[in-house]
């Protein structure tokens, strides 16, 4: 795999700022599996792939039906 194709990994702090939720909320979502926001554990660190965060946001959008 080329370094150019390597995913951009974000910290929980970075994702919390993007989603406007606390780091604790992200931890709760991970432990309860409340939302399908994929995460990666590398050693003791939790990381999120930027593309997974984008997909999560996209999946949460409301769509108007049949007007």
| Helix/strand/coil percentages in the chain, nearest 5 | 50, 15, 35
Tell me: the pLDDT tens digits for 4-29?
Answer: 778 899 999 999 999 999 999 999 99
Radius of gyration from C-alpha coordinates of the chain: 14
Show the tokens assigned to 48: 């999120």
The SS3 assignment for 40 reads strand
Percentage of residues of the chain with pLDDT beyond 70: 88
Residue the block writes with tokens 């432990």? 31
Whether pTM exceeds 0.85: no
Domains with residue ranges and CATH for the chain? 3-59 (3.90.105)
Nearest-angstrom CA–CA distance, 36 and 5: 23
């Amino acid at each position: 795999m080329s370094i150019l194709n390597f995913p951009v990994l974000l910290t929980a702090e970075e994702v919390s700022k993007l989603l406007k939720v606390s780091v604790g909320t992200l931890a709760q979502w991970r432990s309860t599996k409340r939302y399908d926001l994929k995460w990666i554990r590398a050693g003791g660190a939790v990381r999120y792939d930027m593309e997974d965060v984008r997909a999560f946001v996209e999946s949460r959008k409301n769509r108007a039906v049949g007007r």
